[in-house]
Structure 1
Amino acid sequence: MIKILLAEDDAVMREYLARALERSGYAVSAVDRGTAALPLLERETFDLLLTDIVMPEMDGIELAQKAQEMAPGMRVMFITGFAAVTLKAGSAMPHARVLSKPFHLRDLVLEVDRLFNVDNAELI
């Protein structure tokens, strides 16, 4: 099963994203900030880091850079509502995907499915 580490500081958004991904067959570990993700990365192996960019304590870009040092093969997808931050993410992590808010949960699942070449017949 594909394992996703979700870092999102907004509790409602975190719950919706985790639920949508779990319903589509992914295993999700969710945290509320980048600094909370680091201990999980030390203990577990994840296939994807799905992270908001703008978060307290450690932004998603810094988290992604640290995560890539710890787990070089892990894929990264950013979610953000700020266009200028999208450009910063693209230059800092050129191979990462960026999904701009607002988006439909179906769009998120489709993007994750594409990353892993998964064919989910049942969409949200």
Structure 2
Amino acid sequence: MMAKIILAEDDNSLRGFLVNALKKAGHIVKDYDDGETALEALQEEVFDLLLTDIVMPGLDGIELARKAAELDPAMKIVFITGFAAVALSNGSSTPAGAKVLSKPFHLRELVDEVERVMAA
């Protein structure tokens, strides 16, 4: 099932790998290197899935996901992070149903997780 994905990841090399893997799997991907520009894109068009790093300068992934969920409650959300335990602790309110993929992960795991989330 093809998905239209918005990706926010401040690590340029990782972002490139993720985009390539998702496009090879047949998805449409728009990628941004920070939360602010990703949010602007979310305000202008509809996406099936937000894939975002949690720890980014400026607007972080959790805040981006909150705003994305307000704009489109039907959008699926997957966080990618090396700091899942830290970022999602102390009762931070992440959108309901958001998934977390902890770094390091294989690109195949990412593609599989996207397909699982979209099928749900």
TM-score by length of 1: 0.88
Equivalent residues in 2 for 1:104-119, closer than 5 Å: 104-117=106-119
1:50-79 CA-to-partner distances (Å, cap 9, x unmatched) read: 000000111000000001111111010000
| CA–CA separation in structure 2 for the residues paired with 1:23 and 1:112 | 13
The number of aligned residues is 118
Query: C-alpha displacement at 1:94, in angstroms?
Result: 3.7
Q: Indicate how the Cα distance of structure 1 residues 21 and 5 shifts in structure 2: closer, same or farther if over 3 A, else same.
A: same
Secondary structure at the aligned position of 1:58 is classed as: coil
Matching residue of 1:31: 32
Counterpart residue identity of residue 56, structure 2: M
**CA RMSD, 1 decimal:** 1.7
Q: Which amino acid aligns with 2:99?
A: R
Name 1:100's counterpart in structure 2.
102
| TM-score, length-scaled by structure 2 | 0.91
Tell me, what secondary structure is at the counterpart of 1:29? strand
Contact 2:76 2:118 in 1 (8 A): no
Q: 1:80-99 maps to which residues of 2 (within 5 A)?
A: 80-82=81-83, 83-87=85-89, 91-99=93-101
Is the CA contact 1:53–1:61 (under 8 Å) kept in the aligned structure 2? yes
1:69 is matched by which residue type in structure 2? Answer: E
Shift of 1:117: 2.5
**Which moved further from structure 2: 1-10 or 84-93?**
84-93
Unpaired runs of 5+ residues, structure 1, are 119-124
| Mapping of residues 10-29 of structure 1, within 5 Å | 10-29=11-30
Report runs of 4+ in structure 1 exceeding 2 Å deviation. 86-94
**How far 1:34 moved relative to its partner?**
0.4
| CA drift at 1:33 | 0.4
Tell me the secondary structure at the aligned position of residue 50 of structure 1: strand
Long gaps (5+) in structure 2: none
